[in-house]
Amino acid sequence: MLAPVAPALAAFTVCNQTSDIANVAIGEQIEGEMRTEGWWAIAANRCADVIKVKLTNRYIYVHAVDVQGRPVLKGSVTLCVDTKKFQIIGKDTCWQRNHLRGLFTEVDTQSSDNWTLFLKDGS
């Protein structure tokens, strides 16, 4: 007897089409609070599932830098990040809470359940 195949759970995937490793952090509204999380080190020509459940937010915020710390995406939304693996609740007073500030790009998922973002050289 064959069991039905479960659909893929990945809901927000980042594919790195640049020539270098991309270090990626994301932000999203959860229960009324902005939350950021990172880091995913995504090798060139590879993808990573950064949110593994059905998307509930239309907007996902993405911060991506190369191994030298140069931006892969041009962002305009300031959110908190850290130098090591992190989960941060809240977007204000980053410095006062011993975090860094990063510029995130707002990605409009158009209220889709799943979304794939492609990072490209010169994005």
Please list the pLDDT of the chain residue by residue as tens digits (123 residues).
454 555 556 699 999 999 999 999 999 999 999 999 999 999 999 999 999 999 999 999 999 999 999 999 999 999 999 999 999 999 999 999 999 999 999 999 999 999 999 999 866
**pLDDT for the residue 121:** 84
Residue 96, classed as helix, strand or coil, is: helix
pTM to 2 decimals? 0.90
**pLDDT for the residue 7:** 55
> Beta strands 12-17 and 115-120: pairing type?
parallel
Residue 31 — left, alpha, or beta (φ > 0 → left; ψ -120 to 50 → alpha)?
left
Nearest in space to 72 (alpha carbons), one of 26, 36, 104: 104
